[in-house]
Structure 1
Amino acid sequence: MTFVLLLLVNVAVGNIGINFIRNNQGVNDGIFIIKQSVTFGPFQQHLLSWEGLFWFIMLSIDAAIVWWRLVRIYKRIEIGRIIEELHYISAGHYDHRIPFHLSGDNQRVVTSVNGLVDNVIKSLEDERKIEKSKDDLVTSVSHDLRTPLTSIIGYLGLVKNKQYNSEEDLQKFVNVAYDKSEQMKKLVDQLFEYTKANNLVDRKLEIDAININQLLAQLEISFELEAKKKDISVKVEPLKENLIMHTSAELIGRVFNNLITNAIAYGEGASKIVLSARPKGQMVEFRVANDGKPIAKEVVNKIFDRFYREENSRNTNTGGSGLGLAIVHEIINNQGGSIRVESNEKITEFIFTLPINQTKKS
């Protein structure tokens, strides 16, 4: 169609142009001058006539128009290929990406489409993880609440039906029900604490000036009696020079409380817990270490997961909920720090960092 139109235009314009030139002597003289200045070929030949110059110009215009049309057709073909690939992906082939490389703006479209598909896949995977996390949360909470609740109902049922032989039995049943109630309350409190830690991003923090050496000394005193019950001593390795850090006293207290309590409860065979700190650039690195039984490598990788516990820790003696370390992980991450565990036959260390100067908002 383009060639037919060009042919008709050339014939029409040619007839009009040639008649105009023939009837205008000034135009003829101008064309003669142009003709003498235009050469072509290896022998620098001149155009033989002004008609040749006219048709040379017309053919150049025709070539430019044809090239422009071919480029547009090629671009349209590229867009068609992109649309075909999009239809294929939208049919459910989300692992497919547009494989070919184009030029110019069309390549930007290809890159954007592939990036969009990658983001959609990542969003779907994140959504599945969130759904699984919710299911795990419900399962874990149900398990941890049902066990003490069953005991409470059982023992209170015995009391209600007066199925006890003495006041001593009655007191025993009531004590067990009370202990199980305390266990449930502890779990609910930790769930609430975990939720608060998870929402720190939207919470303005009260920043306090904390002397690190004084903090460690205070922790040593606070946990001395509790640790002594298990024949464990709490020791501090202070900084050589006092260092003031600006952070939330409430949050750092919760971190140390959970880590030290965890070390006392699960540091089997430990004789000491060592608290230490050292500056590390714009961060402070803290360590809570104990010389108890090492943590298995497969456990280290999961230890900060919500509700994760070793099977032998699911007992009434420790009363672990599996939330303490998850709370620690959330608090530290939300304040721009990091935490890791190193454990061997000699020592188990929880190592975490926090900024020396914490901003008002985590």
Structure 2
Amino acid sequence: MKNDFSKLKSKIFIRVLLIGGITIFIGLGIEYILLDGFLQNFFIENFIDFCKSGLHLDSNASSKIYQYLLRNNKGLLMSIGLYVLLLFIFYQSLSRFIKYFSEVSDGLDQLLEESVDEITLSPEMAFMEAKLNKIKITLEKRKKSAQESEQRKNELVVYLAHDIKTPLTSVIGYLNLLDEAKDMPVEQKARYVGITLEKAYHLEQLINEFFEITRFNMTTIVLNKKEINLQFMLLQMADEFYPMLVPKGKKVEVNVQDDLKVYGDVDKIARVFNNILKNAIAYSYENSTIQISAERQQCSIVIVFINQGKIISKNKLDKIFEKFYRLDTARSTSTGGAGLGLAIAKEIIDAHGGTISAESNEESTKFIVTLPFNI
């Protein structure tokens, strides 16, 4: 910031020196040219002539006025004159300084009005011009991102509302059949009850998606930190996902030292790993292995999730941690989710002072979580 103001400070300093120099030069000029210099007699004669003609005084009285009023008070009059002159010149210069504030104020107005024009200031205010334009670009990006996020959210809500109708219609239909056919065979009744229960679970999942959207917008992340054994957490999580892995021949391998620990919020860190692993399972090939590893690197703990699946394009990787963004919009909400999992994971990791990123190539997709060793 000091370097930013150097050009402006230099200009102000030069202007102050210039004001002082001009004031001294004019003051000395008045004293040594007009009062005590070669124009002294000319000044005295004109002053006396003024007293005679304007004030109707005689030569003797006019001379005494000059003597007592000007000659004997020359120092005081010079001081007053220089002070007035200094104020006048300073006022003129101050108007230039005020212009800088006016330019910044106009620039801020452009930010508030969301003007499309680039903010332009004086050359010596180039640093402030660059900062204001940077803020302008940042605000425009945030506005665009918020609009896109809101649009995705609205689209998702429409999809969810539409999807809710299907299982709800099925639940009502099968319940009506069960209610109307009192003598329905036991096997058929059991099949209808099973279908109804399945549709009800699906309906519950869709409703939970709505709650997830609301919680994401309203919840402020509060951390309750404690020591976490990474190996135990990740192994336990892999066991919990076993029913999702087996039907498609997938498995999870955890390669973490048994004494590797990190300090953070247990529930929230578990939610991060849960969301990443769920995403890896959803988008990995059948009969493939998802690898999870963790190691200490200098002052950080790095946890890596690798799965074999279709390559994720650079454009999608840039948006993968945005809320309501879904990698595959063609996937149904029952499998694709609300597009909040990775966005929530990023917020949690950010709150812990860590980072989360994704890489993808033709062979695999990798999610990398970095957490400070001592949070």
Change (3 A) 1:87 1:342: closer
Q: 1:152 — aligned with what?
A: 168
Paired with 1:194 and 1:356, the residues of 2 have a C-alpha distance of: 32
8 A contact 2:321–2:342 mirrored in 1: yes
Residue 192 of structure 1: how far off its partner (Å)? 4.0
CA distance in 2, matches of 1:143, 1:79: 56
Structure 1 partner of 2:325: 308
1:279 aligns with 2:296: yes
Q: Which amino acid aligns with 1:160?
A: N
Structure 2 match to 1:217: 235
Q: CA deviation at 1:285?
A: 0.7
Q: Does 341-350 or 291-300 show the bigger shift?
A: 291-300
8 Å Cα contact 1:148-1:181 kept in structure 2 = no
Instruction: Identify which of 69, 86, 89 aligns with 1:70.
Output: 89
Report matched runs for 1:20-35 at 5 Å. Answer: 20=68
Shift of 1:234: 1.6
TM-score (norm 1): 0.66
Most deviating of 171-180 and 287-296 = 171-180
Number of equivalent positions:
314
Distance 1:160 1:124, change over 3 A: same
Task: Tell me what 2:58 maps to.
Answer: none
User: Are 2:114 and 1:95 equivalent residues in the alignment?
Assistant: no
Cα gap change, 1:138/1:313 in structure 2, threshold over 3 Å: closer, same or farther? closer
Q: Does 1:254 align with 2:302?
A: no
Closer/same/farther in 2, CA of residues 214 and 17 from structure 1, 3 Å limit? farther
Looking at structure 1, the residues matched to 101 and 314 of structure 2 have their Cα atoms a distance apart, in angstroms, of 48
Is the Cα–Cα contact under 8 Å of residues 293 and 303 in structure 2 kept in the other structure?
Answer: yes
Residues 224-262 of structure 1 deviation map (CA, whole Å, 9 limit, x = unaligned) = 4532222122212223x7222221211121122222222
Unaligned segments of structure 2, at least 5 residues:
1-29, 35-43, 49-61
SS of residue in 2 equivalent to 1:66: helix
Q: Which residue among 198, 216, 220 is the counterpart of 1:179? A: 198
1:338, 1:353 within 8 Å by CA — same for their partners in 2?
A: yes
Which stretch shows the higher mean deviation, 268-277 or 76-85? 76-85
Q: Which moved more, 1:137-146 or 1:75-84?
A: 75-84
Deviation at residue 335 of structure 1 after TM alignment = 1.8
Call closer, same or farther: CA 1:283–1:125 in 2, change over 3 Å. Answer: same
Partner-residue secondary structure (3-state), 2:249: coil
Contact 1:247 1:356 in 2 (8 A): no
Structure 1 residue 288, shift from structure 2 partner: 1.2
Amino acid aligned to 2:227: A
3-state SS of paired residue (2:374): coil
Whichever residue aligns with residue 285 of structure 1, its letter is: V
Q: Within 2, Cα distance between the matches of 1:246 and 1:302?
A: 28
Alignment equivalent of 1:133, drawn from 144, 149, 173? 149
Distance 2:141 2:329 in 1: 32
2:5 maps to which residue?
Answer: none
1:237 aligns with 2:255: yes
Structure 1 residue 127 displacement after superposition: 5.1
Distance in 1, Cα, partners of 2:219 & 2:333: 31
Structure-2-length-normalised TM-score: 0.65
Separation of aligned partners in 2, 1:319 and 1:21: 96
2:320 touches 2:342 (CA, 8 Å); kept in 1?
yes
Q: How does 1:322-337 map to 2 (within 5 A)?
A: 322-337=339-354
C-alpha distance in 2 between matches for 1:96 and 1:346: 45
2:313 to 282, 292, 296: 296
Report the Cα distance in structure 1 between the residues aligned to 2:105 and 2:164, rounded to whole angstroms: 55
Contact 1:295 1:344 in 2 (8 A): yes
- Residue 318 of structure 1 aligns with which residue? 335
- 2:285 aligned residue: 268
- Paired with 1:88 and 1:75, the residues of 2 have a C-alpha distance of 20
Q: Which secondary structure state, in structure 2, belongs to the residue aligned with residue 237 of structure 1? A: strand
Change (3 A) 1:18 1:98: same
2:372 equivalent to 1:355: yes
Identical positions, percent: 27
Contact 1:158 1:164 in 2 (8 A): no
Per-residue deviation, 1:301: 2.4
Deviations along 1:106-164, one digit per CA (max 9) or x if unpaired, are: x6xx9879967875785576456435533432331221232132342256247537899
**Residue 353 of structure 1: how far off its partner (Å):** 1.2
Q: Alpha-carbon deviations, 1:44-70, whole Å to 9, x = none?
A: xxxxxxx6x987996686466435413
**Whole-angstrom CA distance in 1 between matches of 2:63 and 2:286:** 108
More helix by share: 2
RMSD: 4.6
Sort the Cα spacing of 1:155 and 1:136 in 2 relative to 1 into closer, same or farther, 3 A: same
> For 1:117 and 1:293, how far apart are their aligned partners in 2?
40
Aligned to 1:344: 361
Segments of 5+ residues of structure 1 without an aligned counterpart are 1-5, 23-50
The CA deviation at 1:98 is 4.4
Q: Is the 8 A contact 1:216 1:276 kept in 2?
A: no
